Amino acid sequence: MKYKLYLLSFYFYLIIISITSHGMTHADADIVQVGTEAPDFTLPSTRGKNFTLSAYRGIKPVIIWFSDCCGGCEGRAKVMQGLLEDYGIEILAISMLSKTHQTVEFAERIDVPFPFLIDTEFKVVKGYVGKYIPET
């Protein structure tokens, strides 16, 4: 059990590193701070269903994964899938691409059991991690 907790902590560390090191910069914006309640949002998924963060409040833990759908994200998606299967947590992947069809293609290619949400205006991305500079 202790090993699983260390492993889970390691995965969360990897998630944080992947979020902060791949194409994002933090601006002097009002972004979510550790220890504060996560702001609610509703976004459509690549499959057409809307997902709202507050629907999970008090039910199960949620990992919000900001993905730019790169090659490295394919491997991270499988790690996320393992967390979902091993720990029963929910994962909401939020795409950081400005073109919906690219997100849909990526989500179909990797075929994971959690939703990929579309945020083409980067409203949720900016609110959670600050200014985002998309890579091309």
Distance CA 136, CA 133 (A): 10
Compute the distance between CA of residue 104 and CA of residue 30 in angstroms, rounded to an integer.
Answer: 30
**Does 18 map to a domain?**
yes
Whole-model pTM: value is 0.72
Domain hosting 45: range is 2-129
In a domain, 79, yes or no: yes
Has residue 136 been placed in a domain?
Answer: no
135 inside domain: no
Identify whether 64 is part of a domain: yes
Sign of the four-CA dihedral 78, 62, 42, 38: negative
DSSP 121: T
- Specify if 21 maps to a domain: yes
Q: Is residue 110 part of a domain?
A: yes
Phi, psi values for residue 124, rounded to 5°: -70, -40
Q: Looking at residue 27, which CATH number applies to its domain?
A: 3.40.30.10
Phi, psi of 133 (to 5 degrees): -110, 105
Domain count, the chain: 1
pLDDT by residue, tens only, the chain of 136 residues: 544 544 444 444 444 444 444 444 444 446 777 788 889 999 999 999 999 999 999 888 899 999 888 888 888 888 888 888 898 889 999 998 888 899 899 999 988 889 999 998 888 988 887 765 554 3
